Amino acid sequence: MPRTRAREVAIEIVRTLRDGGHVAYFAGGCVRDELLGLAPKDYDVATDAPPERVAGLFRRTREVGKAFGVMLVSISDVTVEVSTFRREHGYSDKRRPDTVSFCDAESDAHRRDFTINALFIDPLDLSGGEGGRVIDFAGGLADLRAGVLRAVGDPERRLAEDHLRALRAVRFAARLGFRIDDATADAIRRHARELEGVSRERIGDELRLMIADPRRAAALAMIESMGLDEPALGEPARNEAERGALPGVSALPGRGVRFGLGLA
C-alpha cells in the first residue's frame, strides 16, 4: 500500500481517536479506491467520537457540519474529514437529513448510498493485509469483486432521500466500468423525473465530473438509457434512433472541460 502523506495523516488521526478510547476507521471513497488499486484523492475517517470530542483531541479543527457530525482535522499540510457515525432521519428537502442521531459503524454503513461506498478499513489492524482490515456490513466487497454498483438496502428509499443519487450511480458505474444492478437501475428509471427537483447547481456539478472523466461517453450513454437525459440536461429526451448519437463526446479533452448546458 503506497504510504502517501495523506494516508499517514489519516492513520495518525485514527490512532489518536483510538488512543482516546474511540472506534475509528477509514471510510467511504478512499476505502473503495484503495481496494480497487486506485489512488484516493483524499481520506475520510469515521468514528464514534462526537464532534466536541474530536475538537478536544486535535489542535486544529474546523466545523463544516457539526450538526451532522462532520469536522475537518488538519495536521501539518493535510486536512482530513472526520465524521461521527450517524443515522439520518427525514429528507424533506430531498438533499440533507432533517436530523441525525449518532450511532455505531454498522448503522452508519446502512445509511450510505451504495454498497461499494459503505466499506470501512481499520488501518491499524494489519491482520487483513498491509492496507488494514476491511469491515463490510453491506456486501460491498462482493460487489467490488463483481463490478456491480448497488444501492444499500432498498434502492427506492435511497433515491427518495436524495434524487441526485441517480446521477451519482451513473458517474461511479461509468468511471469504474461497473454495471448498475437491476433493482437499482429499475428504481432510477422509475424515478428519473424526480431529478427535476434537484438544483441545477448540484446536477451541473455531477455532469462536469462525468464530462471530465475519460469514460464520459459511457456515462452519457447510461444517462440516456435510464431516461435521465431530459431531467438532467434540460432538453427533450432522444428517441431510440437518436440515442447514442454523441460522436464527439469521447474525443473531448479530459481536463478543463466546460459543460455548456446552462448549468455552470
Residue 93 has pLDDT above 80, yes or no: no
State pTM to two decimals: 0.85
CA distance to 231, 261, 263, per residue, from 133 (Å): 41, 44, 41
pLDDT at 3: 75
Q: Which position has the higher pLDDT, 97 or 76? A: 76
What single DSSP character describes residue 114? Answer: B
CA distance 171 to 133: 27
- List the single range of 12-26, 96-110, 177-191, 232-246 with lowest mean pLDDT: 232-246
Residue 107 has pLDDT above 50, yes or no: yes
C-alpha cell at 228: 435521465
For residue 2, give the nearest of 45, 37, 53, 54 by alpha carbon: 37
Average pLDDT, the chain: 87
pLDDT digits (tens, 9 = 90+) for 128-183: 788 999 999 999 999 999 999 999 999 999 998 899 999 999 999 999 999 999 99
Which segments of the chain are extended strands (E)?
24-27, 44-47, 61-65, 70-75, 78-84, 86-89, 99-102, 119-122, 133-136, 148-149, 179-180
